[in-house]
Structure 1
Amino acid sequence: MRRTTVLGGLATAALLAAAALPGVAAAAPAADAFTRAVAQLKAHSGSTLVDDGQSFTLRDVVTDADGAQHVRLHRYADGLPVLGGDLVVHLGSGNSWRGTSQSMTAAPRRGAKATVGRAAAGQVALAASTATARRVAGTQLVYDAGDTGTALAYEVVVGGMYADGTPSELHVLVDASTGAVRDSWEGVQREGTGNTFHSGTVPLGTTAAGGTYQLNDGARGGHKTYDLNGGTTGTGALVSSATNVFGDGTLANRQTVAADAHYGAAVTWDFYKNTFGRNGIRNDGVAAYSRVHYSSNYANAFWSDSCFCMTYGDGGSGWYPLTSLDVAGHEMTHGVTSNTAGLVYRGEPGGLNEATSDIFGTLVEFSAANGNDPGDYLIGEKLRSTPLRYMDKPSRDGSSADCWSSSLRFLDVHYSSGVANHFFYLLAVGSGASAYGNSPTCNGSTITGIGNAKAGAIWYRALTTYMTSRTNYAGARTATLSAAADLYGSGSTEYQTVAAAWSAVNVN
């Protein structure tokens, strides 16, 4: 799973030309919101850490029914991106100030100069990667608003390939004064396994062209599905059929997997559109695309911002193609996260990033109401003999965390995601035994769930309105409580259940 927008949600167009963020619509209301948000930031510069050397660009505007607006911005200092300096400005109706959501705790040092050269930083970054065929794919000078304070650094993207065939785009932050590695995270976000998903006979969005039918869904932004035929680069061949029938339900017919992927993309598009009014991954009506039959015996799948696409392998021994509904929803949700909060793919933010994909991948599966794959709170249960992850009790997989602790930041993001997955299950379903599992609490409390619809609405609003690139678990608690208050009121059962569910996984 892949996102090449970087820490803080900043665009990496300067690093990877293909990874440029979508342009922001120049509509007058958005422009007006941007102008008012920046003016309010300057008026409250003490709390927002704004000074004369800073500038901002608009990322997104969320407008509530009452006219309140939540303006997501990129921050720059001395013309350089501030990684981790992204923020959301909350404006009430009538331009009243409601504060900000931000992670940065100190403004960048003024007049900082780089004493380490760009080439030297590249060599340090190359040494930090474990991929093969390593190469420096791009370098830019940034301010890193990291856990150890804000400093001038080089962001170096190191390309390469992992042993299992997954491409690597390792982002390495090299201190521009000391040459030390300040931080690093993988841009390619991978799922851990693969298995086939047989969705049965389903409708597919296709387009007639030149006497054939293509997997080109014009009703959903023109989403296309391509066959890489074992390749690892490019788009491959657009899948087409003379009869408008794709696949026969067996793996002997390579179009079967293409049909699964195309269907998963359609269900995910419809889920976000029908549930949240979101018009595609970037909310701009433009579709991503899918690639199937990636590499050989590749038991993985990933989302990539640089191609704005999902990619699925065919699996290997004991595995099947990774084209199940929950995986499709999971992968495309990485794109949604990348284009909203931009949760960096390491530590606690990375765990929240993975959990967000698990949460909405699960809700996509429920929304499909497909009898061949009923909704559940298991991740990747169609991919092998045992699920990849369990939301009711994440530790059932042998690696994931049920409860928050200070050691969580050292876990792989697929395992630190367990705390948020457990929280969501408790929020939606509740504790104890149910038709979906048996979920304990970490503090011995009893939780009564509020259902998928409300729990999903709270998480989506928190993601799109309050979380930023370095939101940690404590910040996620604050963000979801703010979202619950917005949607249902601060004295509501929903608000109280959010608080109780976080406490039940030791996030207080």
Structure 2
Amino acid sequence: MSPLYARHKRTTLAIATAVAAGALLSTGLTTSATAAAKAPLAAAPAALSATAHVSLIQQAQANTAETAQKIGLGTKEQLIVKDVVKDNDGTVHTRYERTYAGLPVLGGDLVVHTAKSGRTEGVTKATKATIKVASLTPQITPAKAEKQAVAAARTLGSAQSTANGARKVIWAGSGKPVLAYETIVGGLQDDGTPNQLHVITDAATGKKLFEYQGVENATGTGKTLYSGTVGLTVNLSGSTYQLYDTSRGGHKTYNLARKTSGTGTLVTNSTSTFGTGTASTSSSNQTAAADAAYGAQETWDYYKNTFGRSGIKNDGKAAYSRVHYGSSYVNAFWDDSCFCMTYGDGSGNADPLTSLDVAGHEMTHGVTANTAGLDYSGESGGLNEATSDILGGVGVEFYANNPSDPGDYLIGEKININGDGTPLRYMDKPSKDGSSADSWSSSVGDLDVHYSSGVANHFFYLLSEGSGAKTINGVSYNSPTSNGSTVTGIGRAKALQIWYKALTTYFTSTTNYSDARAGTLSAAADLYGSSSTEYKTVAAAWSAVNVS
């Protein structure tokens, strides 16, 4: 799980995501990206039907033994297909998880790139180390690993006294692969955010190796708080209207009515109009539900029309949304375990965290979890957060083109989470929030992931819009560069295509900033050519944030 922003002492506001991802907030996409989707680039992802997608996965799974041998894996290793992306030119990118002697290899994920002819063109690996351990017999007990995990969770405010068991794994996320235990502790963190802390413990020494949060954030009318009056796709059941969108994978919006667990009650009404356009402290108020349903609707359409992606898992099935979570909960989160988005009502239960960029941000954590699976810690965690800001925040907000919430490069500008009208994050100069990094340094990975994300957010702004002063949709920006260079942007539509392709075909669970530079350059070469202006600008934009 992960918050929309860093929590410091927990007296500040936080926006959480759930199982496998980061936090809330981001901005959007333009109509130019939609135009690009109508005339797809050869190396862009092809739009596949759910049946075709499943068929590719089944075919890849049937050939895992042959693939493992072809790419040089050991006899104790096996591959498990996670996803398959097929480009318009026939190139196939197959993402695999790995096992060793039957044990999951965490940090062992990889992507095999195969030409239309069937020739393997390359492999992108989360780790370059050979997977091999001397012994599969632990030297410490599972109970010791569980005790350590519970202690770590308590520092986040969890009241849990027991863990959900410890399983043996191979840890390959850093350095030499070792036999380890993975322990998960649930409960709640001290701000009310669900806890799903994963702790990796060396099975020989008992040393904690790694930890990360798993909780990362009929036609009707919605009278929303943030996006004005919007059209919603609802379902008429008898004489009752439901916030149930059967045209977009079956997305449903539920009311938790201040609870912190369970699914809640499906939001219904006697008419097809949901919400009043104003906030209320009542948990029966439907305005927050209207905002959440609208955000899910726009995010689904954005991914479908921009990248040919049908739902978070690209399987045509929708997640669901829960509103009115807890009491005065100042956060929102994506949870991969329930495959759902959850929104709190903010301070005093009067400011629900259901703005459009928040919805896009949280659902994009789901996309990341089901593609690259970027570990929510260190530099990969910063890239995870930035991906939600870039694709989910910026991308969705510009795509929706809503006059009540125009697209911008500000994160969380509508929800007033700071209490003074300022945004949560700024992409043109991330340090304007007081904590985020404008450029890379050797200590960036030590920052909270919501602040280390600033490096990628700044890169994306420079790639899209370039450096210097400019005004976009009425918002003034002035983006500096760490090396004093002048960067001329390639436009947001192309920048989004490059980031999405890198995420889905070149990023892995352990990708750091140096890897991200390499991955986005590979994506730019695939889409536009290695001698193109787009490729050169990707390189220039990374150099401008000190990533080489």
Settle same-fold status: TM greater than 0.5: yes
Could you tell me which residue of structure 1 aligns to residue 266 of structure 2? Answer: 238
Q: What is the letter of the counterpart of residue 144 of structure 1?
A: W
Equivalent position of 1:280 in the other structure: 311
Q: 2:457 aligns with which of 414, 417, 421?
A: 421
Matched, 1:306 2:314: no
AA in 2 matched with 1:506? N
The residue correspondences of 1:390-405 to structure 2 (distance < 5 A) are 390-405=426-441
Candidates 123, 145, 155, aligned match of 1:100: 123
How far does residue 160 in structure 1 lie from its aligned partner after superposition? 2.1
Given that 1:33 and 1:69 are in contact with CA atoms closer than 8 Å, whether structure 2 keeps it comes out as no
Equivalent position SS for 1:149: coil
Task: Report 1:373-384 matches (<5 A).
Answer: 373-384=405-416
After superposition, the C-alpha distances for 1:193-246 in whole angstroms (9 at most, x for unaligned) are xxx942111001100113110000011111110111111011111111101111
1:364 matches 2:396: yes
Matched, 1:51 2:74: yes
> Hey, what's the Cα distance between the residues in 2 that align with 1:279 and 1:182?
36
- 1:73 and 1:247 map into 2 onto residues whose CA distance is 43
Matched, 1:127 2:184: no
TM-score after normalising by structure 2: 0.85
| Equivalent in 277, 289, 296 of residue 265 of structure 1 | 296
Q: Distance in 1 between matches of 2:117 and 2:256?
A: 53
Residue in 2 that maps onto 1:218: 246
Choose from 158, 181, 190 the match for 2:185: 158
The equivalent of 2:519 in structure 1 is 479
CA shift in 2, pair 1:290/1:151, >3 Å:
same
Q: Offset of 1:164 from its aligned partner? A: 1.4
**Paired residue secondary structure (1:208):** strand
- Residue 125 of structure 1 aligns with an amino acid whose one-letter code is A
Contact 1:188–1:302 (CA under 8 A) maintained in structure 2: yes
Q: Aligned partners of 1:37, 1:171: CA distance in 2, in Å? A: 28
Match of 2:359 in 1: 328
Cα distance change of structure 1 residues 295 and 25 upon mapping to structure 2, 3 Å threshold: farther
Taking a change above 3 Å as real, the CA distance of residues 314 and 30 of structure 1, as seen in their structure-2 partners, is: closer
Q: Identity of aligned pairs, percent?
A: 59
CA-to-partner distance for each residue in 1:383-402, whole Å, 9 max, x for gaps?
Answer: 11110000000000000000
Are positions 1:507 and 2:526 aligned together? Answer: no
Q: Note the alpha carbon deviations across 1:146-183, whole angstroms, 9 max, x for none.
A: 32321111000011212211111100001101111110
Structure scoring higher RCO (CA < 8 A, sep ≥ 6) equals: 2
> Of the candidates 112, 118, 121, which is equivalent to residue 142 of structure 2?
118
Aligned to 1:176: 203
Matched, 1:297 2:328: yes
- What is residue 16 of structure 1 aligned with on the other side? none
**Which stretch of structure 1 is more off in the superposition, 211-220 or 118-127?**
118-127
2:424 maps to 388
Corresponding residue for residue 231 of structure 2: 203
Shift in CA distance, 503/38, structure 1 to aligned 2, threshold 3 Å: farther
- 1:76 maps to 99
**CA displacement at 1:103 relative to structure 2:** 2.1
SS of 2:229's equivalent? Answer: coil
Structure 2 SS opposite 1:329: helix
How much does 1:250 deviate? 1.3
SS at match of 2:311: coil
Distance 1:197 1:452 in 2: 27
Residues 397 and 38 of structure 1, relative CA distance in 2, 3 Å threshold: farther
- Aligned partner (choices 128, 139, 142) of residue 166 of structure 2: 139
Residues of 2 paired with 1:223 and 1:144: CA distance? Answer: 36
Do 1:2 and 1:305's aligned partners in 2 also have CA atoms closer than 8 Å?
A: no
Cα distance in structure 1, aligned partners of 2:258 and 2:105: 39
1:450 paired with 2:474, answer no
Q: Which shifted more, 152-161 or 34-43?
A: 34-43
Give the aligned residue type for 2:529: G
Task: Look up the match of 2:501.
Answer: 461
Contact 1:3 1:338 in 2 (8 A): no
- What amino acid maps onto 1:56 in structure 2? L
Aligned to 1:15: none
Could you say what secondary structure the match of 1:137 adopts?
A: coil
Q: Is the 8 A contact 2:215 2:335 kept in 1?
A: yes
In the alignment, is the contact (CA less than 8 A) between 1:441 and 1:505 conserved in 2? Answer: yes
Amino acid in the other structure paired with 2:430: P
Query: After superposition, where does 1:434-445 map in structure 2 within 5 Å?
Result: 434-436=470-472, 437-445=477-485
Q: Which residue of 2 aligns with 1:89?
A: 112
**Aligned equivalent of 1:412, options 448, 458, 465:** 448
SS in 2 for 1:136: coil
Two-structure CA RMSD over aligned residues (Å): 1.8
Structure 1 residues 111-158: Cα deviation after superposition (integer angstroms, max 9, x where no partner): 332111111211111111222322312321100003232111100001
Give the drift of 1:25. 8.2
Change (3 A) 1:133 1:269: same
Instruction: Specify every segment of 5 or more residues in structure 1 that has no aligned partner in the other structure, as ranges.
Output: 7-22, 191-195
**C-alpha contact (below 8 Å) 2:330/2:346 kept by paired residues:** yes
> Over residues 454-488 of structure 1, what are the superposed CA-to-partner deviations in whole Å (9 max), with x where a residue is unaligned?
00000000000110001000110011001001111
Q: Is the 8 Å Cα contact of residues 60 and 81 (structure 2) preserved in structure 1?
A: no
**1:404-431 Cα deviation digits (max 9, x unpaired):** 0000111000000000000000000110
How far apart are 1:44 and its partner, in Å? 3.8
TM-score by length of 1: 0.92
Q: Which amino acid aligns with 1:239?
A: V
Pairwise CA distance, 1:61: 1.2
Q: Deviations over 1:359-405 (max 9, x none)?
A: 01211000111111100000000011110000000000000000000
8 Å contact kept, 2:20–2:369: yes
Does the CA contact (< 8 Å) of 2:225 and 2:287 recur in 1?
A: no
CA–CA distance in structure 1, aligned partners of residues 106 and 171 of structure 2: 5
CA–CA distance in 2 between the matches of 1:484 and 1:26?
Answer: 24
Any stretches of 5+ residues in structure 2 without a counterpart? Answer: 1-15, 22-49, 218-223
More displaced, 90-99 or 474-483?
A: 90-99
